[in-house]
Structure 1
Amino acid sequence: MAMTLDIARDNPNAPSVTASRPDAAQPANDQAPAAVIAPVMSEDKPPLIGLSREELADAMASIGIPEKQRRMRASQLWHWLYVRGVSDFSLMTNIAKDLRTKLAEAFSIARPEIVSELISVDGTRKWLFRFPARGAGRPVEVETVYIPEEGRGTLCVSSQVGCTLTCTFCHTGTQRMVRNLTSEEILAQVLMARDRLGDFPDTNTPQGAIVPSEGRMVTNIVMMGMGEPLYNFENVKKALLIASDGDGLSLSKRRITLSTSGVVPEIARTGDEIGCMLAISLHAVRDDLRDVLVPINKKWAIKELLDACRAYPGLSNAKRITFEYVMLKGVNDSNQDALDLVRLLKGIPAKINLIPFNPWPGSEYECSDWDRIEEFADIVNRAGYASPIRTPRGRDIFAACGQLKSASERMRKKDRDAGTAA
C-alpha cells in the first residue's frame, strides 16, 4: 500500500507537513528537508526562475541596478537559484541586505504549492503541484513523478495542464487541455523534487527514502509527464536549456529526454535548438491502428514521423532515438507487429522501450500477457535493437506511464459522473 504525505498550509509562509502511513513496511521517519518550507507562487510579482541570463540582467535594470553591475548580479542570482536552490532572497548572503529587500519587493522566486505527495511501495514518488491560474480562471495542478533506480534517479516532468492529444491508452488524454506551463513552472518541478529529496547543498535526504546510493538524487529528466512538450516548444526549450546549463542545474543533455507523440515540424528544432535526447511515442506499426491509439497520426502519419527521426540532428549510434511501445493485449502485440516494427525502424539508430500497459479507471485496454511481451521482445532484440521491458513503477499510486492526471480533475470528473447518475 502506498504512503500519503498531505501538505497542509495554514498560510503561505508557514506550511505544516503531516504523514499517514497505512503500510507498516514503509520507513518510519520521512520528514522533508527544511528547504521545502518556502513562500508559495502567486501572480503578484514577476518570477525570476525561468529567465535566461540576459533576461535576468534586464530584470536588474528594471529596479535601477547600474549597467556595470547587471551581469554580475544576474550571475549571483543564477548561482543562488540553480546551484544553491534557495527560494528566499534573504538567504542570498553575498548580496547586500538592502538589495535583497529590493529584489523581494519586486520579484518572486517562490515554489508551487504541494497539494499531495504519494510514495509507492517501490520508492516512486508522485507530487501534485498547484500553480497560479495565469488566465485559466482558477489555480491549476499537474503531477510530477520521481523514479529511483540503481545508480540513477529519473524525474518525469509535465509540460502542460491537461493534453489535446486524446491518446486512447493514456489517462492524461482524458483531461481537457487547460494551458501551457511556463518555463518557470517546468523548472519549478525540478527544483521542488530536489528540495523534497535533499538534493541541494545544505539539505538532507529524507530518512528511509529510496534514492541512488551516491551522487545526485535527480540525475535524469524525462519530458514524459502531462501534455505534449512540442506543443509548448518555447517554454520547454527555455526550461531545458537552463536545466542543462553547466553553471546551474548542470544536467547533461544526454540525461534529458523529450518524448513526443509526433509533432513532426518541431522535431528538427528540438535537435538543433535544445540538443537533448529524443523519444517517440509510437505504439503501432500501421497508420489505421495508430490513428486510433495516437490520433495525432492523422495529421502526421508514420512515414512522415520516421523521416523526421532519420533526419534528427546529431543522430548516431551514440545518440539513439528511443521508440516507446505500449503493449496492449490483442491490439498491437503480435509477432507480426514485432517484425513490422523492426522493418519500420531499419536504418534509424534506435532502441525500443516496451511498456506493459498500466491500467487506469475506465480504460478499455488490457496489458499483454507477460509471455507475449517476452516473445515480442525476443524478436526485436534478435534484430539488433536494445529492447528492455520497462518494469511498471508506481502503479499503486497511479504514477506509471500513461497514468498521470491531476487529482483535482479526477475528483471533478467523479462529481460530474455522480451528478449524471443521480
Structure 2
Amino acid sequence: MNILVVGNGGREHAICKKLLASPLVSQVYCAPGNQGMIRDGIQSVAIDSLDFSGLAQFAKEKQVSWTFVGPEQPLVLGIVDYFQQQGLAIFGPNQAGAQLEGSKRFAKDFMAKYQIPTADYASFNQLDEAVAYVSGKNYPLVIKADGLAAGKGVVIVNDEPEAIKVLTDMLVNHQFGESSAEVIVEEFLVGEEFSYLALVHRGQIFPLKISQDHKQVYNGDTGPNTGGMGAYCPVPQIPSSVIDRGTKEVLEPTIQGLKAEGIDFSGVLYAGLIATEQGPKVIEFNVRMGDPETQVILEQMSSDLAEVIDTILRGETPQIEWYQDQISLGVVVAAKGYPDTNYVKHIPLPNFPHTTNVQVYFSGVDVAESGELISCGGRIFMVVAKAHTVKEAQKLVYDYLGTLSLPDCHFRTDIGFKAIENKSNES
C-alpha cells in the first residue's frame, strides 16, 4: 500500500514511522511533513494540509490506498467529506462529527443532552453577561475559547479580577480570533487527568491504551497551557475500573449519541478525562490523535498500525495488541519563549545520535542552507523512551537530552512525576 498522512508535526512523524514499519506498506507520504521526518524514510510532500484539492489529486496520482488525517483543522474544515466525494478512502470524522472538537459549545450541549458526565458550564458571547455570571462564583473556574486554539485556549482563573481579564482578552480583544468569539465558563474539576483514545468505525469502538499529557509549560504543572510538553503511556495510577467506566459512560454513549444526531463517526475519538470522586468526567473531546500522546501510545502498540487501520476501513474487527509491562515516556523540547508567540526561531539543532532505546520525533523543524536542521516552531522535537518503569524511561530520555547541546531551548524535567508520586504513596 501507499499511504498519505496529512500534517507536519511530531504526531504525524510517529504515525508515519509506525505505518512505514508495516510489511504491507511500500511508501508513506506526509503532506506537508517536515524535514526531520526524512531521515526515517518518510517522503515529505509540499502540499498544505488545507489544500484539499491538491491532496486529493496527489492521492489519485500516487494510487494512495487510504489517507490518515493528523491535525484537527483539516477535519473541522471538512477534508473527509471532500475526499469521500472524490471517491477516496480516508480515516477521520466528517465535518459534522468534527464539531465535537471544533466547537466546545457544541460538545458541552451534546454531553448535556446525552447525559455524558462533564463539568457544569455556561456559554457566552457578550462580556457583560459573562462578567455577571462569574461574579460571586466559587473559584477556581475554567474559561475556554469555543473554537480551535492549538491547545492554548483554556485558562484556569483563581479569582474574579483574573476571570474578568481573561474574559475581556477573549471576547473583546479577540485573543484567539474567531475561536474566542464565544467562551465556555466551567466549574473546576479535581482529580487525575488522562487521555483515552479509541479508533471508531461504523459504531464499533476499539480503545487504545490511556496516556497522560503534561499541558502546562513548567515543572509541577505550573505556568500557562501549551500544546503539550510531554506524555507517558500507560498511566499506572488510573485503575482499570475507571477506564471501564470511561468506556461505558463516555465513549459508548458518545458514539450512540452521534448516531442519534445522524452522524456516523469514523476515525479517532479522543476523550480528555479526569478521574473525580464521582467517576470519570469529560474535560474535552478531540477528534484525532493527540500530540504528544500519539508518540508514546504508538510506542506501546505491538500490532501493525497499517493492518489495524486497513482492517477497520474494511468494516472488520482488528486485533490490537500491546507490549506488556512497559512504560513509554516522552519529553518535548521547545523554543525559548514558548508558549508565547515571540519564541526564539531558527535555532540550530544538534546531531541526534541513533540509539535503539530512544526515538526522536520532529515537529517544528526546517533545514538551513547548510543542510543542518533548524527550529521553525514553538515545539521543536520530542524524545521518547520505553522501559519497564517510569523512572527507567525518565532516565533514558533525560540522559539522552543531556548529551545534546540545546541553546535557546527549554523542556520540563519532571514528565511522569504523578505516576512516581502515586507509586511512592502506595508504598
TM-score (norm 1): 0.28
- Report which of the two has the higher share of strand: 2
TM-score (norm 2): 0.27
Larger gyration radius, structure 1 or structure 2: 1
